[in-house]
Amino acid sequence: MKLEKPLVAAGLMFSLTVGAVFAASHADNPFAAGIKARQAQMQIQSFNLGILGAMAKGESEYDAEAAVLAATNLMHAVSIHQPQAWAPGSDNSAVEGTRALPAIWQNFPDVGAKSAELKAAAEEMKAVAGTGAEAVGAAMGRLGGACSACHKAYRAPAN
């Protein structure tokens, strides 16, 4: 009984903070919360790659601190592993609002290998981000390749 109060409090807090989000999305599509979570991960990757890419292209001034911060954020984002966001059946042939191809679920070893390459490329970026725009540009090449390889194989084209 000692644990009942914290559990009730936790349940209440949870309801207040995230329960509404889940309830709303689950009414329409059982995969909606997962699809949002996996797209959110891509969004954070895209935003921080955008900061680094702009520096590499000279569209924004190189800033070592901001570059290291963006590379660190990227590293956190690629380290997030949310299998529950990739439930079988949550592909673009079955549900709305996703470009994830069914091939993902038929090629887990390859998806894992491509994900490992993305992580390795992000690690390389983090290692060199503080050393100048040229190094950022070189690391961006490998990162862009990792993004493209997975999108080409496993993401439907935008309409």
Binding residues (CB under 8 A) for its own copies: these are 3, 6-7, 9-14, 16-22, 33-34, 36-37, 39-41, 43-44, 46-51, 53, 56-57, 66, 69, 72-73, 76-77, 79-85, 134, 137-138, 140-141, 143-145, 147-148, 151, 158
Nearer to its own copies, 13 or 94 (CB): 13
Q: Nearest-CA neighbor of 131 among 54, 46, 71?
A: 71
What's 32-92 look like in SS3? HHHHHHHHHHHHHHHHHHHHHHHHHCCCCCCCHHHHHHHHHHHHHHHHCCCHHHCCCCCCC
As measured in angstroms, the least distance from the Cβ of 105 to its own copies is 19
Q: What is the DSSP letter of 16?
A: I
Quick one: 19 or 106, whose CB is closer to its own copies? 19
Q: Which is nearer to its own copies, 13 or 116 (CB)?
A: 13
For residue 129, the 8-state DSSP code is G
Q: Which residue has the tokens 């069914």?
A: 102
Nearer to its own copies, 57 or 106 (CB): 57
Q: What minimum distance in Å lies between the beta carbon of 113 and its own copies? A: 19
Q: Which is nearer to its own copies, 43 or 106 (CB)?
A: 43
Which two three-digit tokens encode residue 104?
A: 């993902």
Distance of closest approach, residue 37 Cβ to its own copies, in angstroms? 4
> Least CB distance from residue 150 to its own copies, whole Å?
10
Work out how close the CB of 137 gets to its own copies at its nearest, in angstroms, rounded to a whole number: 4
Token look-up 């995969």 returns 31
Residue pair 48/71 in contact by the 8 Å Cβ criterion: yes
Tokens of 95: 């549900």
